[in-house]
Structure 1
Amino acid sequence: MAYNLEEQEQLDNLKSLWKKYGNLATWGLIIILGSYAGWNAWTSRQTGQSVQASQLYEEMQKFIVAKDSAKVQAVAEDLKTKFASTSYAPMAALLAAKSAFEANDLKLAKSQLQWVADTSKAEEYKALARIRLAGVALDEKAYEEGMKQLSGTFPAQFEADVLDAKGDIYVAQNKIDDARTAYKAALEKMSEKSPGRQALQMKLDVIGGATDTKVVSK
């Protein structure tokens, strides 16, 4: 589909916004969910296995702060192998994926995320992993794979993020009408206080959806 210069400039601006905010917003979900996981894990420390897993997870946090990606991955593998039944294992894999992504190792990031998507018993972890897999697919221009990850059902609290991610893929494919529809639907489902709302509104504005935003942002 052909676009005039103004439309092409809008597309370029939107893609730039994705690079600046898109990954930040979705990786940020990992930190938020991490707090939730920490609480759940704390309440289940009756067993020795949970205590050992918590100690490893605390070590992992230190390596993340030190930006020691190799040790982050090593601890994540230990938790996945020895303590897969605890809530620490999927959270460690999610954080290891983030570490790998920041190190530009998309293959490793995908591996960690896929493990969570395939094995986690918590729907929240599985949902977050699938959304991030779609983000990695977008970076790799594997648009069909990205949409596949975003298909099916998700917990209600992730519906806005799924629609937002779909909009990003539509933009990358120059399917602007579809992107506009997805972004507006995401705004309708997103809380007014959501940290990702401003970035989403900016993306919608860039593709010419600002005239209707008053309807969806009440």
Structure 2
Amino acid sequence: MATSLDLQEQEQIDQLKAFWKQYGNLITWVLIVVLGAFAAWNGWNWWQREQGFKAGALYGELERAAQSGEADKAARAFNDLRERHGGTAYAAQGALLAAKVQADKGQADAARATLAWAADKADGDAYRDIARLRLAALLMDQKQYDEALKALDGVKGDEFKPLAADRRGDVLQLQGKAAEAKSAYQTAWAGMDPAIEYRQLVEAKLTALGAAPTPANAASAASGVAQ
């Protein structure tokens, strides 16, 4: 009986050896890949958390500088944030904040450069669109109307297009193109939800151009929004 069991065990051992000889390397490499991927995933998550923490710290520094009106200090913090963590939302938010401080302090060219970076490279379509809208306003103040219109052409998000159309109307009106400005304002007015107070300002601009929206226009726009 013992001999029979020994033979069975030996046969199983021989089968196991044969199996391992045929598939052992493959199994080993699969385990290495799986364990390596798991380690890499954990490492990536740790790195992401670490980068987020560092980016948040730099943004906090920028925010404090902005609150105290220190444009140069805010610019330095933003530059560090952009160079080290340019692909984060913190860098996008930091660009918008730094540009505001720079513009408030009369540093129009610096604000323009900051907004241009955000319009081109900020993480997230919404941040890029906001940067383009603010850049267009800055360029408009500098009387660089064609450049302002180019910036507005880059606005892609549907939620920002009415605002872009309104700003386009402002630029066109400053260029003396009243008919084109009226068309842009009409696009802006029709695209805005009636509940938005800003729509009343667009309506006032249309009224000043002798194109006040009629009740029929209002009903048509409301129907479009409902759809």
Fold-level match, TM-score > 0.5?
Answer: yes
Native 8 Å contact 2:206 2:213 kept in 1: no
Distance in 1 (CA, whole Å) between partners of 2:58 and 2:107 is: 23
In structure 2, what is the equivalent of residue 149 of structure 1? 151
> Retained in 2: the 8 A contact 1:116–1:126?
yes
* Higher mean C-alpha displacement, 196-205 vs 206-215: 206-215
Which of 168, 177, 191 is residue 193 of structure 2 equivalent to?
A: 191
From 146, 171, 183, the counterpart of 1:169: 171
Larger-gyration structure (1/2):
2
Q: Contact conserved, 2:133 with 2:155, CA < 8 A, in 1?
A: no
Q: TM-score, normalised by structure 2?
A: 0.70
State the Cα distance separating 1:46 from its structure 2 match.
Answer: 5.6
Bigger mean CA deviation after superposition, 122-131 or 204-213: 204-213
Q: State the TM-score, normalized to the length of structure 1.
A: 0.73
Task: Work out which of the residue numbers 202, 205, 208 in structure 1 matches 2:204.
Answer: 202
Once the two structures are superposed, residues 1-41 of structure 1 have per-residue CA deviations (whole angstroms, 9 ceiling, x without a partner) of xxxxxxxxxxxxxxxxxxxxxxxxxxxxxxxxxxxxxxxxx
Superposed counterparts of 1:64-83, under 5 Å: 64-83=66-85
Whole-Å Cα distance in 2 between the matches of residues 178 and 48 of structure 1? Answer: 51
Q: Distance in 1 between matches of 2:217 and 2:126?
A: 29
Q: Which has the higher contact order (CA 8 A, sep 6+)?
A: 1
Give the counterpart letter for 2:163 in structure 1.
D
**Count of aligned pairs between the two proteins:** 175
Aligned to 2:61: 59
Q: 1:171 to 1:65 in 2, by over 3 A?
A: same
The share of aligned pairs that are identical, in percent, is 30
Extract unaligned runs of 5+ from structure 2. 1-46, 223-227
1:184/1:213 contact within 8 Å kept? no
1:94 maps to a residue whose letter is L
Aligned to 2:92: 90
Deviation larger for 58-67 or 158-167: 58-67
Change (3 A) 1:132 1:172: same
Q: Which runs of 4+ in 1 moved over 6 A?
A: none
Query: How far did residue 200 of structure 1 move?
Result: 2.0
Q: 1:213 to 1:137 in 2, by over 3 A?
A: farther
Deviation at 1:176, TM superposition (A): 1.0
In structure 2, the residue matched to 1:128 is 130
Unaligned runs of 5+ in 1: 1-44
Query: C-alpha root-mean-square deviation of aligned residues, in Å?
Result: 2.1
Q: Say yes or no: does 1:182 pair with 2:171.
A: no
Deviation, structure 1 residue 175: 1.0
Is the CA contact (8 Å cut-off) linking 1:73 and 1:96 kept in structure 2?
Answer: yes
Q: 2:140 is matched with which residue: 126, 138, 141?
A: 138
Structure 1 Cα separation of the partners of residues 123 and 215 of structure 2: 37
Give the superposition deviation at 1:199.
2.4
Which sits farther off after the overlay, 104-113 or 140-149? 140-149
The answer to whether the Cα contact below 8 Å between 2:132 and 2:154 also exists between their aligned partners in 1 is: no
